[in-house]
Amino acid sequence: MKYAYFFVFILIISCGKKEEKKDSLDISKPDVTTIEPKSIVDEVPELIFTVQIAALKKENSTLANIDSVKTYKENGLTKFRFGEFLTYNEARKTRSLFLNKYPGAFVQAIKNGEPIHIKEALLK
């Protein structure tokens, strides 16, 4: 019987300690560092140049899987374009790398997300 009282006493003490830990937590002050928000939208240049390597009526997984090639749906065609260059000359140099494999590759100007004629882009 002595042991029963002893175990009850230990049980009461151990339960009391757990409650003390719960009460000692200060949940009114969260440990959060405030960070000033940054703009999540990167500045997109008004005019960019890209190298278009193909425009097909059907999808082409081989072209779509080339690193850095993006696909665009325009006028019923799937267009495959490589890179985004700030200057026409950068795009021309890259185009020359594609000409052996894709002889129809050309520099495409994109203004505000829409393709424009290269002459219009070069006048600016």
Residue 105's CATH number: 3.30.70.1070
Provide the domain limits for residue 118: 47-122
pLDDT in tens, the chain (124 residues): 555 555 555 556 666 544 444 555 454 544 555 555 555 555 656 999 999 999 999 889 999 898 889 999 999 999 999 999 999 999 999 999 999 999 999 999 999 989 999 999 998 6
pLDDT at 111: 94
Q: Could you give the number of structural domains in the chain?
A: 1
pTM: 0.62
Residue 93 located in a structural domain: yes
In contact, 110 and 48? CB cutoff 8 Å: yes
Radius of gyration of the chain (CA): 32
Residue 12 located in a structural domain: no
pLDDT at 35: 57
In contact, 49 and 109? CB cutoff 8 Å: yes
